[in-house]
């Protein structure tokens, strides 16, 4: 099946509240650890080249501002 299309991911202003950033860090860490353990991989298989997967991970972590700050939020230590 051929997949094609366009995603409109506008940038928005503002900052992520500290309490949300802390929760997203904990949840993102837990998700990464679960994937590593389940798939028995030496490192997290980051699918950053798949933009919808990356957006979905950010949304699951709680980042609901579309694309603004999602890279920082998902990749933050």
Q: Rounded to an integer, what distance in angstroms lies between the CA atom of residue 62 and that of residue 67? A: 12
Residue from 69, 53, 61, 72 nearest 10 by CA:
69
9 vs 47, more confident: 9
Cα-only R_g, the chain: 14
Model pLDDT for residues 14-59, shown as the tens digit of each residue: 777 888 888 888 988 898 888 778 877 666 665 555 677 778 888 8
pTM confidence score: 0.64
Predicted local confidence at residue 37, as pLDDT: 82
Q: Long-range contacts: 52-56, Cβ < 8 Å, 24+?
A: 52/7, 55/7, 55/9
- Output the six-digit token pair for 24: 């997203």
Predicted local confidence at residue 55, as pLDDT: 80
7 vs 29, more confident: 29
Predicted local confidence at residue 7, as pLDDT: 72
């Amino acid at each position: 099946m051929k997949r094609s299309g366009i995603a409109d991911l506008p940038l928005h202003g503002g900052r992520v509240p500290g309490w949300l950033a802390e929760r997203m860090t904990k949840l993102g860490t837990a998700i990464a650890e679960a994937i590593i353990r389940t798939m028995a991989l030496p490192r997290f298989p980051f699918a950053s080249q798949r933009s919808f997967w990356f957006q979905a991970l950010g949304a699951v972590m709680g980042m609901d501002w579309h694309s603004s700050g999602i890279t920082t939020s998902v990749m933050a230590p």
